[in-house]
Amino acid sequence: MADSYVPFEYRALLLIDLGLWCWGLNIQLLNKAGIDVPTLFGFEKHENKVHGVVYRIALAFSLITLAFLSLFCSLLRIIVSPIRSEPSFGDVILADILTSFAKVFAGIYFTFCAFFTASNSDAISSDYLHHSLELLIIGPLITSLPFLFRFRQCISEYLASEGTGYKALANAVKYASAFPVIFLSALIHSPSQEASHMVTIWLLTVLFNSLYSFYWDVVMDWGLSVSCSPEKKSGMIVLRHILLYREPVYYISILVDFFLRTTWSLKLSENLKSEDLISGGFLLEAAEILRRWLWVYFRVEKEWIGFGFNGLHSNDSLDRVEEQEIHLITHERAHLPQ
């Protein structure tokens, strides 16, 4: 059946879109037949053709529908793709972006819970947010889902490499390190738990997650590392042999990433006041989205450099960017005057 090929969530959008195109065609053909549809319907005459306006609305709606359909297919691949299939670069980027929206998804759930269960505005208080079942169990589960999806991608990449992709396993550790941060903080908020001995463990997990994620951002995802420039006698420190942006941009971005990585790890937890979840938490979530926006520039830059040098696709090029840079630096050193 054709229905099985159309996602249920998008059938309404597709049918509305079809109706808009048909309505535009109705008006156009009626006008060709000499029927002034706007006048007949009591609309004021306009210089622009009415069917053209309807077509533009239908086109915009079609583009929005296609964008959502593409997003749905990508999410489906991220969640239920075969475990031994290597994820595409686009799916990896999307899954990483979803991790930055982890608290947003949980916030949407809390908003609906508060809207449908709260009898007054006082219900959104510490008693509701800090001791409710939603915050202690369901909230952490929703927050951890994007990290679980990205963790699964790393395992898939490792299995697809037939046991040779140890870099993927190391990357999986980064996403797995978010789980203790999320769930230990939920235990700290449990009324039946003595939080004093849990806080130290929680802080250690936050520290590990922050520093490891920062290291992976800069060294692995962006391909930046510290080395001495052989062509300059001053021994100037360079981040990468090939830079597509101005060099100060990289240093500033590294500092921004470090600062926002540490604050975001705190935000991953529920170890904040209820007021922070509603007001101050918004600023941290917005900052994390901006950090991810910054991260995309350098992540895609590294992929493009690897693609340009090797003519390969996605993950094949990632493992050889460093090899190309070492080769170029060695070549330059060989031609330096002794």
> DSSP readout, 110-131?
HHHHHHHH-SSGGGSSHHHHHH
150 and 292 assigned to the same domain: yes
pLDDT band at 295 (very low <50, low <70, confident <90, very high): very high
Domain end among 53, 71, 89: 71
59 and 106 assigned to the same domain: no
Lowest mean pLDDT among 11-25, 109-123, 200-214, 279-293: 109-123
Identity of the amino acid at 52? G
Q: Which one of 37-46, 60-69, 115-124, 322-331 scores highest in mean pLDDT?
A: 60-69
116 and 207 assigned to the same domain: yes
17 and 99 assigned to the same domain: no
- Answer yes or no: is 332 within a domain: no
- Answer yes or no: is 13 within a domain: yes
Question: How large is the average pLDDT for residues 227-232?
Answer: 54
Domain count, the chain: 2
**Which residue blocks in 189-234 are alpha helix, DSSP H?**
196-215
Is there a contact between 159 and 84 (Cβ–Cβ < 8 Å)?
A: yes
21 and 46 assigned to the same domain: yes
- pLDDT, one tens digit per residue, over 107-158 is 888 777 777 765 544 445 545 554 555 566 788 899 999 999 999 999 999 9
Domain end among 38, 71, 104: 71
CA distance 336 to 338: 6
pLDDT band at 104 (very low <50, low <70, confident <90, very high): confident
CA distance 57 to 55: 5
Residue-range definition of the domain harbouring residue 309 = 81-322
CA distance 27 to 66: 25
Give the per-residue pLDDT at 13.
80
62 and 176 assigned to the same domain: no
Domain end among 19, 37, 71: 71
Give the per-residue pLDDT at 338.
47
Q: Nearest Cα to 288, choosing from 256, 264, 253, 252?
A: 264
212 and 162 assigned to the same domain: yes
Give the per-residue pLDDT at 317.
47
The structure tokens listed for 82 are: 């075969």
Is there a contact between 169 and 157 (Cβ–Cβ < 8 Å)?
A: no
Give the per-residue pLDDT at 50.
75
175 and 235 assigned to the same domain: yes
Compare 230 and 24 and report the one with higher pLDDT. Answer: 24
CA 281 to chain centre: 18
Instruction: Output Rg (C-alpha) for the chain, integer angstroms.
Output: 26
pLDDT band at 202 (very low <50, low <70, confident <90, very high): confident
98 and 236 assigned to the same domain: yes
136 and 263 assigned to the same domain: yes
- Answer yes or no: is 165 within a domain: yes
Give the per-residue pLDDT at 167.
92
Write down the mean pLDDT value for the chain: 77
99 and 227 assigned to the same domain: yes
Q: How far apart are the first and last CA of the chain?
A: 75
Question: How large is the average pLDDT for residues 183-212?
Answer: 78
Is there a contact between 128 and 180 (Cβ–Cβ < 8 Å)?
A: no
123 and 184 assigned to the same domain: yes
